[in-house]
Amino acid sequence: MTERSLQITYRKGRPFAAYLYLSRKPGEKSVRTEPTSNGLLVVDYASDGQPIGVEITAPEAVTLDSINTLLENLGQPPLLEQEFRPLTAA
Protein backbone atom coordinates (compact mmCIF):
# COMPACT_ATOMS: atom_id res chain seq x y z
CA MET A 1 0.00 0.00 0.00
CA THR A 2 1.40 3.40 -0.93
CA GLU A 3 0.95 6.31 1.44
CA ARG A 4 -0.73 9.62 0.76
CA SER A 5 1.44 12.34 -0.80
CA LEU A 6 1.05 15.72 -2.48
CA GLN A 7 2.79 16.46 -5.77
CA ILE A 8 2.89 20.09 -6.94
CA THR A 9 3.78 21.39 -10.40
CA TYR A 10 5.22 24.91 -10.40
CA ARG A 11 5.37 27.42 -13.23
CA LYS A 12 7.41 30.60 -12.80
CA GLY A 13 7.75 29.85 -9.08
CA ARG A 14 4.01 29.55 -8.43
CA PRO A 15 1.88 26.41 -7.97
CA PHE A 16 0.26 25.64 -11.34
CA ALA A 17 -1.42 22.31 -10.55
CA ALA A 18 -1.26 19.69 -7.84
CA TYR A 19 -2.22 16.08 -7.26
CA LEU A 20 -3.01 14.52 -3.90
CA TYR A 21 -2.22 10.82 -4.11
CA LEU A 22 -4.39 8.90 -1.65
CA SER A 23 -3.37 5.57 -0.11
CA ARG A 24 -3.64 2.88 -2.74
CA LYS A 25 -2.42 -0.54 -3.77
CA PRO A 26 0.78 -0.57 -5.86
CA GLY A 27 0.01 -0.32 -9.57
CA GLU A 28 -3.60 0.74 -9.02
CA LYS A 29 -4.85 2.97 -11.85
CA SER A 30 -7.71 5.41 -12.27
CA VAL A 31 -10.67 4.09 -14.25
CA ARG A 32 -13.10 6.93 -13.56
CA THR A 33 -12.85 10.64 -12.73
CA GLU A 34 -15.47 12.86 -11.15
CA PRO A 35 -15.18 16.65 -10.83
CA THR A 36 -16.51 18.37 -7.73
CA SER A 37 -19.34 20.88 -8.07
CA ASN A 38 -16.95 23.85 -8.31
CA GLY A 39 -14.62 22.05 -10.74
CA LEU A 40 -11.49 22.93 -8.75
CA LEU A 41 -11.01 19.36 -7.51
CA VAL A 42 -11.30 16.18 -9.58
CA VAL A 43 -11.43 12.78 -7.86
CA ASP A 44 -9.90 9.69 -9.47
CA TYR A 45 -11.38 6.30 -8.63
CA ALA A 46 -9.95 2.79 -8.96
CA SER A 47 -11.84 -0.11 -10.51
CA ASP A 48 -13.17 -1.11 -7.08
CA GLY A 49 -14.71 2.35 -6.61
CA GLN A 50 -12.20 3.54 -4.03
CA PRO A 51 -10.82 7.09 -4.40
CA ILE A 52 -7.11 7.00 -5.22
CA GLY A 53 -6.33 10.65 -5.91
CA VAL A 54 -7.49 14.24 -6.12
CA GLU A 55 -6.42 16.57 -8.89
CA ILE A 56 -6.21 20.19 -7.72
CA THR A 57 -6.73 22.19 -10.91
CA ALA A 58 -6.34 25.68 -9.43
CA PRO A 59 -4.13 25.54 -6.32
CA GLU A 60 -4.45 29.29 -5.66
CA ALA A 61 -8.25 29.00 -5.43
CA VAL A 62 -8.47 25.93 -3.17
CA THR A 63 -8.55 26.13 0.61
CA LEU A 64 -7.54 23.56 3.18
CA ASP A 65 -11.17 23.50 4.35
CA SER A 66 -12.46 22.68 0.86
CA ILE A 67 -9.98 19.83 0.46
CA ASN A 68 -10.77 18.47 3.91
CA THR A 69 -14.52 18.63 3.26
CA LEU A 70 -14.00 16.55 0.13
CA LEU A 71 -11.70 14.11 1.95
CA GLU A 72 -14.28 13.70 4.72
CA ASN A 73 -16.97 12.95 2.11
CA LEU A 74 -14.63 10.33 0.61
CA GLY A 75 -14.01 8.70 3.99
CA GLN A 76 -10.38 9.83 4.01
CA PRO A 77 -8.39 11.40 6.86
CA PRO A 78 -8.02 15.19 6.72
CA LEU A 79 -5.02 16.90 5.18
CA LEU A 80 -2.84 18.49 7.84
CA GLU A 81 -1.91 22.15 7.62
CA GLN A 82 1.78 21.31 7.13
CA GLU A 83 0.84 19.02 4.22
CA PHE A 84 -1.18 21.85 2.60
CA ARG A 85 1.41 24.58 3.21
CA PRO A 86 3.48 23.95 0.02
CA LEU A 87 0.45 25.01 -2.04
CA THR A 88 0.46 28.44 -0.41
CA ALA A 89 4.22 28.90 -0.01
CA ALA A 90 4.96 30.61 -3.33
What is the pLDDT at residue 50? 95
What is the pLDDT at residue 66? 95
pLDDT digits (tens, 9 = 90+) for 74-88: 999 999 999 999 888
Range of the domain at 35: 5-75
- Domain annotation covers residue 33: yes
Q: What is the domain count for the chain?
A: 1
Q: How far apart are CA 79 and CA 5, in angstroms?
A: 10
- Domain annotation covers residue 84: no
Query: Which residues is 18 bridged to in the sheet?
Result: 8, 56
- If you count them, how many residues does the chain have? 90
- Domain annotation covers residue 31: yes
What is the pLDDT at residue 77? 96
Ordered per-residue pLDDT tens for the chain, 90 residues: 688 999 999 888 888 899 999 999 888 999 999 999 888 999 999 999 999 999 999 998 999 999 999 999 999 999 999 999 988 875
- Domain annotation covers residue 80: no
- Domain annotation covers residue 45: yes
